Structure 1
Amino acid sequence: MSHTNSTQNIFRIILGSLLVFTGIGHLTFLNVPFQSQVPVWVPLDPVLVVNLSGVVELLIGLSLLFWTSKRVLVGWIAAIFFVLIFPGNLAQYLSRTDAFGLNSDALRLTRLFLHPLLVAWPLWCTGAWRAWRQGRSASGMNLHGSAVR
């Protein structure tokens, strides 16, 4: 059963393309600006962190574009990835580091408040959220975790 419609598929393709672009950027022309987002408490070299996250972003983007038989799984992986990179955005805000046109506290703070949309986007466009809800319903549980009678 398909958990997505054509609008969701368009947004899946857009997200996948953006992730491929930013993944390539991590590994090439955006490597230095992305290093500014690595929190100081991360015990790894910022270059390594940026390169590894770029590879992950590239793989997720390609998976969103081409691994459609597993799109629900890829949606969850992408959402988890976006949760995991939030500390980098928070670090950029707290350190007041300019990068990617975010050259004011207001712009950096706005991005923090928009970050939940990045988490929701892959869940929606891959049908992961709908599949999860339908799976819970089919298992005899309602949204509160109680058995359905």
Structure 2
Amino acid sequence: MIRALARWILALALGAIGIVHFVSTRGFRVVVPDWATKATRLDKDAIVIASGAAEVALAVGLLALPKERRRIGVATAAFFVAVLPGNVHQWRTHRSTPGLDTEARRFGRLFFQPLLVLWALWATAPDPVPAVRPWRRSR
């Protein structure tokens, strides 16, 4: 029950921030390091849109594909690891984005990122199998 609630909260948060990437593309360009445009051959707007699309896709997958939830959880955790360089870049360059408009918030997010990785993995872990006790009779 708690894992399911954690999955829903994670999915809703991913979906919401993914949509914000589409609405406020320019606001997120500052997170994209220059080397990322060279490595991907995409401009900053395209990277922001792609990351927003990934977030929305992961959100939908977490809710709509229960048989694949472990794989989607691993993919979500990998996504959080993949965007960490952008978060570090934003903190080092002192640039603001929606909701991250102070040094303390930008720095704090760096410590929140590993928690997101763990959250994604924990919330999508298989449900524990109840222990079978052959010595107990069912009534």
Distance in 2 of aligned mates of 1:53 and 1:81: 9
Q: What's the counterpart of residue 71 of structure 1? A: 69
1:60 is aligned to: 58
What's 2:17 paired with? 22
TM-score in terms of structure 1 length: 0.78
Correspondent of 1:37 among 8, 31, 38 = 31
Structure of greater Rg? 2
Who is 2:135 aligned against? none
Give me the TM-score of the superposition, normalised by structure 2.
0.83
2:102 & 2:49 partners in 1: Cα distance?
26
Q: Deviations over 1:11-47 (max 9, x none)?
A: 101111111111111112x212111110121123100
Structure 2: gaps spanning 5 or more residues: 129-139
Gapped runs of 5+ residues in structure 1? 1-5, 132-149
Distance in 2 separating the partners of 1:110 and 1:116 = 11
Look up the match of 2:87: 89
Counterpart position of 2:125? 127
Cα distance in 2, alignment partners of residues 85 and 38 from structure 1 = 9
Aligned residues: 124
